[in-house]
Structure 1
Amino acid sequence: MKADKHVPPVTDLDGKKRPLIAIAASFLLVVCISLVAVQGWSIYSARETQLAQSAAATANMARALADHADSTIELVDTILASVVESVQHDGITHYGERLHLHLIDHVSRTPSLQGMYIYDASGNWALHSLREPIPVLNNADREYFVYHKTHKDKLAHVGPPIRSRSTDTWVLPVSRRLEDKDGNFIGVALATVQLSFFRTFYDSFDIGKEGNITIALDSGALVMRRPYVQENIGTSIAKEPMFKQWRATPASRAVPVDLDTLDRMYSYRPLRRYPLFVAVGLSTDETLANWWANAYISTAWVVILLLILMWMGLRLFRQVTLRDELEEQLRNAQLALVTKNRSLKLLARNDGLTGIANRRLFDARLDAEFNRAVRDGTSLALVLLDVDFFKKYNDHYGHPAGDACLQFIGQCIRTGRRRAGNLAARVGGEEFAILLPNTDLYGAIVVAESVRRSIASAGREHQANPAGIVTISCGVHALVPTKGMESKQLVEAADKALYLAKSTGRNRVCPDAPAVSSRRERASILGS
């Protein structure tokens, strides 16, 4: 278009002024981006640091609490083991007053102990550490008694929390099996740990208003939790996200807890010798409260600074560009028009998928070359190509794969057209054409066969094609047009040749021309 020649040249003043504006704008943009980037990185680093410190704090606290619980139960278990040894040595029926006083002494000197008890094989109280006499009770229904009666494990068994029948307080039972010399079950020795002992200890830690400390059995039975809710003692927390996460990956993460739906950063620590674990959770909101406050303040200052910089920059650029704003708009409009025209030209001439010429350009070039051949008395050849079983290819591999296949065919045709004056075009869905000026039938067959072989030799998979690969069929025709002939005659003859190639087995080049009237002559040309 002539619009390409009407774009006004950039003056020397514009050449000196606009780079300066670009440099100033780039500098201001770099400063703003740098401020935002530094602020963002600072906020992110501060948040990660705060979370890392919280994770370290919860991990250290969980380790300390787990060690405390482990030591507490180990001390109780050690006392219980000595009592078991005495009972099994002397026999459960020869305990006497001395062992009773011994149990009372152990409980009085151990703050975590609520009581110690010995039961016979029937679950009846045979001995206890209580100072006052109590009614005769039977504990054969307790979980720990059933466990030891059915298991020959001589190690300590830590059961789920229970409410003591003697003091009506919540306790954690630690028990051992009693056996005679033949290994027969003769009863259970029990020591109960006061849950209030853990509660008092956990209350001494600063975990914020929304913090959480949990100790529970591996089975999910809750032993103690801060904040303390008595109704939750002994209930199962196996369905809580916190418990499921500990089972999956014992690491620190923020997860919502079913009891209060708060996000907390949890750290877990299993006890070394007993089937319990400790979980410490700090509220994510409380952990990040100071970080949020600092982030708001620092971000506000950065925003104010950015606004000032932007206001000053806009004022400066406005003063510089105000005088030639109209000229710049005109130039931009003309440049946009030229660019649009070039894009329209490209779209009008080329196929959007394959990049080669489209049907419109092919028809125009066909008429022009046909008229030129009439004037000059030269030969004009046409090759029509069609992808074999392309519909089945699309159905089997999908349309994206079909588009990629057509792009591959277009590339092979582009590289196989031999001369610069030849035109490769996509004239239909899977149909292509090669227009060959000043080319006889033999030359056209050579070009078509070269393209066919290059496509077949690529070995592109096509399971719906009997050949197993992507192939093409080619119809070739050449003529020396004379006055009174039309270009469609060349196209119709090449199309007949293409039909012949398809009907005789595909993946071949077939000429169709008056000059090649017999099958033997066609075979001779193809063989040459």
Structure 2
Amino acid sequence: MKAEKQLSPVTELDGKKRPLIAIAASFLFVVCISLVAVQGWSIYSARETQLAQSAASTANMARALADHADSTIELVDTILAGVVESVEHDGITHYGERLHLHLIDHVSRTPSLQGMYIYDAKGNWALHSLRDPVPVFNNADREYFIYHKTHKDKLAHVGAPVRSRSTDTWVLPVSRRLENKDGSFAGVALATIQLSFFRTFYDSFDIGNYGTITLSTDTGALVMRRPFQQEQMGRSIATEPLFKQWRERGTLGSAAVPVDMDAAERMYTYRNLRRYPLFVAVGLSTDETLANWWANAYLSTAWVVILLLILCWMGLRLFRQVTLRDELEEQLRNAQLALVTKNRSLKLLARNDGLTGIANRRLFDARLDAEFNRATRDGTSLALVLLDVDFFKKYNDHYGHPAGDACLQFIGQCIRTGRRRAGNLAARVGGEEFAILLPNTDLYGAIVVAEAVRRSIVTAGREHAANPAGIVTISCGVHALVPSRDMDSKQLVEAADKALYLAKSTGRNRVCPDAPAASSRRERASVLGD
């Protein structure tokens, strides 16, 4: 019975383990998803931070470059304005050589200046800042000369870059209109800025291997670009996406667009000069800007993947162990069930006679002692019937042992059905010897039970040629007593055995009590009759 009780807890655990496995699997899934989400958000945030830092850096550089270009042109324009005022007030011929030296002095003291020139109304050179004599050129075909001839405003005009006819270098022209006292066109005052001056300044900035700096007029004429390429000087960038976006969005902004010159994508910041029609754009390569971000993203993602693999491996190991435990518990349960079944079979074999199916001698002895002690405590009567098959040895010799076994099975069935009460015990105590233990039964009740069994066997009429009666019969010895503490259960068995001996010795096929109160032959017959 202990094995049967141990099965219940194992079975009850099943209902508790399954939700736990589901909870563990859900927790592991949530942890993995959370790690992936946190990693994704971290990578995205790092990228946005890197781009924001790059945008701030380009904005600061664009402001510095715009201020530099604006101050450079403003300085040149200031010098040029003074020259224009002097020329218009006193005339070119009044100054003569003195003005020439004055122009040379201005150029020598201003690093950004390449030269200064005065043209008359026909575009001929009137004065210049060159020290050595040069051929006389006519610049009436230049864009800035045509502009001042057709426009009466006296503001500074910044033209598209041109190659100087005197020095054959690229310069940025800054010019002003000269007028006669009556307001008519008198010529042009020109100051040229060396484009190499901007190039030297731009080279001092760290913009990476693929960054770019662009200085352009508002018409799209390229003034300077880093990286520098000679053949690009003066070309138009009006069709490039950056220039178009600057035109659409205004004086200040940023963009991530490719440039036609190399199709590389960059993060640009552009802004106008304060006083002059130029704009500056600084672009940092998107790939270079995000290079460190990519490296960190790959590294952190690799660690997260490794961590996820470890978690999944540990989870699978855990689930495998739980599965193995379930299998072991199932095997244990099956083993316990088999053990219970085996124990029941063993108990049945240990308590019952294998041939007749009724109790065996071991169970009979145990029940006899137990019932004897109980009767002693309670002061009740305990009766015992001992039965023996008449001439059973001859039956075996005549019919064979298989027939003898069948006969014993028949006797056992008759005894089982004739024991009357559930508390009575029918047992096979020897080869052809049987016993019926009758608790709470006196002698007369025991005789009734024994006689009923004997009559059922006789009534069956089972053939027994070696028996004088011609059929199978039994002899029964009966005894009953109220045991006391000084008595032993063997006394009950010995008395019933004496009664059995008496039944055999007096002709067999009968029930004989061994009762002191019925010691005479007549009294015993009277008891049997009753």
The answer to whether the 8 A contact 1:92-1:120 is kept is no
1:305 paired with 2:302, answer no
Write out per-residue CA displacement over residues 95-136 of structure 1, whole angstroms, 9 at most, x where no aligned residue.
311111100000000000000000000000000000111111
The answer to whether the 8 A contact 2:242-2:255 is kept is no
**Following TM superposition, by how much is the alpha carbon of 1:16 offset from its aligned partner in structure 2, in angstroms?**
1.5
Unaligned runs of 5+ residues in structure 1 are 1-10, 326-528
Give the structure 2 partner of residue 95 of structure 1: 95
Give the structure 1 partner of residue 115 of structure 2: 115
1:47-62 alignment runs, 5 A limit: 47-62=47-62
Distance 2:288 2:264 in 1: 11
1:242 paired with 2:276, answer no
Give the structure 2 partner of residue 257 of structure 1: 259
Give the structure 2 partner of residue 69 of structure 1: 69
Distance 2:151 2:14 in 1: 96
Aligned-partner SS, 1:43: helix
1:210 paired with 2:219, answer no
Give 1 or 2 for the bigger CA radius of gyration: 2
Distance 1:156 1:60 in 2: 27
- Among 285, 288, 291, the alignment partner of 1:289 is 291
Write out per-residue CA displacement over residues 18-70 of structure 1, whole angstroms, 9 at most, x where no aligned residue.
21112111211121112112211111111111111110000000000000000
1:265-414 alignment runs, 5 A limit: 265-321=267-323
Distance 1:309 1:229 in 2: 56
TM-score by length of 1: 0.58
Of 36-45 and 232-241, more deviation after overlay is shown by: 36-45
Distance 1:111 1:323 in 2: 88
The answer to whether the 8 A contact 2:158-2:173 is kept is yes
Identity of aligned residues (%): 86
Distance 1:323 1:196 in 2: 82
The answer to whether the 8 A contact 1:62-1:268 is kept is yes
TM-score by length of 2: 0.58
Aligned-partner SS, 2:122: coil
The answer to whether the 8 A contact 1:162-1:172 is kept is yes
Distance 2:50 2:278 in 1: 29
Aligned-partner SS, 2:253: coil
Aligned-partner SS, 2:155: coil
Distance 1:12 1:244 in 2: 77
- Pairs aligned (count): 315
Unaligned runs of 5+ residues in structure 2 are 1-10, 328-530
Give the structure 2 partner of residue 21 of structure 1: 21
Write out per-residue CA displacement over residues 75-111 of structure 1, whole angstroms, 9 at most, x where no aligned residue.
0000000000000001233231111110000000000
**Following TM superposition, by how much is the alpha carbon of 1:324 offset from its aligned partner in structure 2, in angstroms?**
7.2
**Following TM superposition, by how much is the alpha carbon of 1:294 offset from its aligned partner in structure 2, in angstroms?**
1.0
Aligned-partner SS, 1:22: helix
1:432-511 alignment runs, 5 A limit: none
**Following TM superposition, by how much is the alpha carbon of 1:215 offset from its aligned partner in structure 2, in angstroms?**
0.1
Which amino acid in structure 2 is aligned with residue 151 of structure 1?
H
Write out per-residue CA displacement over residues 122-165 of structure 1, whole angstroms, 9 at most, x where no aligned residue.
00000000011111110000000000000001100000000000
Tell me the C-alpha RMSD between the 2 structures. Answer: 1.4
Give the structure 2 partner of residue 158 of structure 1: 158
Distance 1:63 1:176 in 2: 27
Write out per-residue CA displacement over residues 464-522 of structure 1, whole angstroms, 9 at most, x where no aligned residue.
xxxxxxxxxxxxxxxxxxxxxxxxxxxxxxxxxxxxxxxxxxxxxxxxxxxxxxxxxxx
The answer to whether the 8 A contact 2:66-2:271 is kept is yes
Distance 2:93 2:119 in 1: 11
Which amino acid in structure 1 is aligned with residue 79 of structure 2?
I
Distance 2:92 2:149 in 1: 16
Aligned-partner SS, 1:171: strand
Aligned-partner SS, 1:251: strand
Distance 1:161 1:253 in 2: 26
**Following TM superposition, by how much is the alpha carbon of 1:224 offset from its aligned partner in structure 2, in angstroms?**
0.3
Q: Provide runs of 4+ in structure 1 moved above 4 Å.
A: 11-14, 321-325
The answer to whether the 8 A contact 1:215-1:277 is kept is yes
Distance 2:109 2:299 in 1: 56
Aligned-partner SS, 2:33: helix
Write out per-residue CA displacement over residues 387-428 of structure 1, whole angstroms, 9 at most, x where no aligned residue.
xxxxxxxxxxxxxxxxxxxxxxxxxxxxxxxxxxxxxxxxxx
Which amino acid in structure 2 is aligned with residue 142 of structure 1?
R
Give the structure 2 partner of residue 370 of structure 1: none
Distance 1:310 1:236 in 2: 60
The answer to whether the 8 A contact 2:253-2:271 is kept is no
Which amino acid in structure 2 is aligned with residue 293 of structure 1?
A
